[in-house]
Structure 1
Amino acid sequence: MNYYYYTFQSIFRWLAVRLEFVGNCVVFFACLFAVLERDTLSAGIVGLSVTYALNVTQTLNWLVRMTTELETNIVAVERVKEYSEIPTEAPKEIAETKPYPSWPQKGEIVFESYGLRYREGLDLVLKDITCKIQPAEKIGIVGRTGAGKSSLSLGLFRIIEKAKGRILIDGIDISSIGLHDLRSKLTIIPQEPILFSGTLRVNLDPFDTYSDATIWRALEQAHLKSFVESLSRGLQHECTEGGENLSVGQRQLVCLARALLRKSKILLLDEATAAVDLETDDLIQQTIRQEFADCTILTIAHRLNTVMDYNRIMVLSAGKIIEFDSPQNLLNSRGSVFYAMASDAHLL
């Protein structure tokens, strides 16, 4: 705080010195011209001009400060105007198209000529994505940076609305139902773990749906039970804003435990193990394979070894699916992009 305050005062002094220099120049020239024109000017006019010239420095300081404050404060008005013009999200629930409570029962996902752009006027970041993911199938999504892997997850959760095509989950077009009805049925373990200010139990079960025994079982499956037991308050341990009093790896395991509690039919892993070591990564992958065996899993992976035993691998490039087959078939083809990626990762 003192650092920024000192910088502010230094800049203000820098400005004041230069404004006073300009004011002194005005006073100097007013006096100079009064002397040069003393034969034509009366004493009253000379006194009036010098008096007003002396006020220039104060007026300049006031004018610059008011202009700066106006420019700073008008930013708030610009933000309010911008936020008021942002289109709102779709309704949380649509009574006419509300899916049945047990939806989705199978976890089948179908992309039909799906396209996505971040805003109007920009090029498509996903182009003509067409594929069918069978129930309980394990799909690895790989590709170079900017291939569109994370954009696919944004479209699945309708964080960004479609530009063309559609996504069907168990035969229902996800764009026709409410956002709450869709997102409450999907589970994601994000790349950056999200925790809120509150107890550990609230972060795991914010709506108080599950019993303590169920939560402890999820923590054990997430390999976090021993850590929570070592805390003086256990599940009532207070998490600071963003979970800053936990390590990044522990926050990621909390997100995994949260997913284990919900046990949705569709699970999306967005580089979920990027923040943990390889040994913990293997334990987490083993837990996911065991506990989500009957669920459809989409894994956005940078570590190719985590998806080598999946049913199929989706290789994206420039927003398009260029390869979509089993890992064995892709590795048997030496000309495939996946083969080159596995070779670069020294997995062959």
Structure 2
Amino acid sequence: LSDISFTARPGQVTAIIGGTGSGKSTLPRLLLRFYDIDRGSILVDGVDIRSLRQADLRAMIGYVPQQAILFSGSIRDNILFGREKGDNEVAQAAEIAQATEFISKTQAGFATAIAQGGQNLSGGQKQRLAIARALVHRPKIYVFDECFSALDFKTDARLRAALKEETASATVIIIAQRVSTIKDADQIIVLEKGRITGIGTHEELLATNDVYREIVSSQLTEEEIA
């Protein structure tokens, strides 16, 4: 990454899109301090994240990776991830994450056992549980790192609509390759080869950014683009 500068604000959705090797998945790893930047700074509420304890920083962030990490235990335990929350909060998080329907079809509902790594669940089911886990935590910042990729388009749309209300006061960052997932974001950041080539809304970037137009035209029909 080089010359990266942008602000993600509370109450807004910031989307990051780019092709393979563009650097888009490096950004959340830097925010979570999986490793540190060698120059510049990343600020949360005006505070350099390097001055925060990692545990405190990560408590502020609900991070959902593309590959959901599940452990052997119940669905409820996997959503809670060691946190103390009531059944209503767990159920609400699952509802927003569009997980209620498949959970209700299991033999024991939220008490249903999950195999190590979620081997008895589909990719989309695992992703929805990982999203519910982030939601039940109610963090200040949500980072969804290509975690909608295994969802069908209808589930993706329903989930994003439900998320919009639930995360209205939070800072939301969505990293995605699918244009339909991010086209309604307040700002879209286009990355190519580790650099920002454009920042704007879907409409603004369609009018001004060649990289974004190429991504969009490869995925959407002319009617969908219009």
1-side partners of 2:83 and 2:185: how far apart? 34
- Give the structure 1 partner of residue 174 of structure 2: 299
1:337 maps to a residue whose letter is V
Moved more, 319-328 or 141-150: 319-328
- Asked if 1 retains the 8 angstrom alpha-carbon contact of 2:74 and 2:113, the reply is yes
Q: Unaligned 5+ residue runs, structure 1?
A: 1-125
Cα RMSD, aligned residues only = 1.5
TM, length-normalised to structure 1: 0.61
Q: What is the CA deviation profile of residues 133-168 of structure 1, one whole-angstrom value per residue up to 9, with x for unaligned ones? A: 222221110111101000111101011111111100
Q: Deviations over 1:55-74 (max 9, x none)?
A: xxxxxxxxxxxxxxxxxxxx
2:108 to 226, 233, 242: 233
The residue number in structure 2 matching 1:135 is 10
1:343 alignment partner in structure 2: 217
Paired letter, 2:20: T
Q: Percent identity?
A: 35
Q: Which residue of 2 aligns with 1:207?
A: 82
Which one of the candidate residues 254, 258, 263 is aligned to 2:133? 258
The alignment partner of 1:260 has SS state of: helix
Identify the match of residue 157 of structure 2 among 282, 306, 309.
282
Q: Which has the higher contact order (CA 8 A, sep 6+)?
A: 2
Q: Choose which of 36, 46, 52 in structure 2 pairs with 1:177.
A: 52
| SS of alignment partner, residue 147 of structure 2 | coil
Deviation of 1:315 (Å): 0.7
Which residue, 157, 164, 168 being the options, matches 2:32?
157
Separation in 2, partners of 1:286, 1:273: 13
Segments of 5+ residues of structure 2 without an aligned counterpart are none
Map of 1:320 onto structure 2:
195
Give the counterpart of 1:147 among 22, 32, 35: 22
Higher helix fraction (1 or 2): 1
What is the CA distance between 1:336 and its match in structure 2?
Answer: 2.9
**Structure 1 Cα separation of the partners of residues 46 and 98 of structure 2:** 36
Please give the alpha-carbon distance, in whole angstroms, between the structure 2 residues aligned to 1:155 and 1:199. 31
CA contact (8 A) 2:144 2:173 kept: yes
Aligned partners of 1:283 and 1:131: how far apart in 2? 28
String of CA shifts for 1:238-260, please: whole Å, max 9, x gaps.
11110111111111111111122
Deviations 1:215-263 (A, max 9, x none): 1122222222232233232222111110111111111111111122112
Paired residue for 1:48?
Answer: none
- Tell me, in whole angstroms, the C-alpha distance in 2 between the residues paired with 1:294 and 1:258: 18
Distance 1:226 1:323 in 2: 39
Distance 2:62 2:80 in 1: 14
Contact 2:66-2:147 at 8 Å conserved across structures:
yes
Tell which structure's C-alpha radius of gyration is larger: 1
TM-score by length of 2: 0.92
Q: Does 2:208 align with 1:330?
A: no
4+ aligned runs moved over 6 Å, structure 1: none
- Is the Cα contact below 8 Å between 2:74 and 2:111 reproduced in 1? yes
2:64 aligned to 189, 193, 196, which one?
Answer: 189
Measured at CA, do residues 143 and 234 of structure 1 come closer, stay the same or move farther in structure 2, by a change above 3 Å? Answer: same
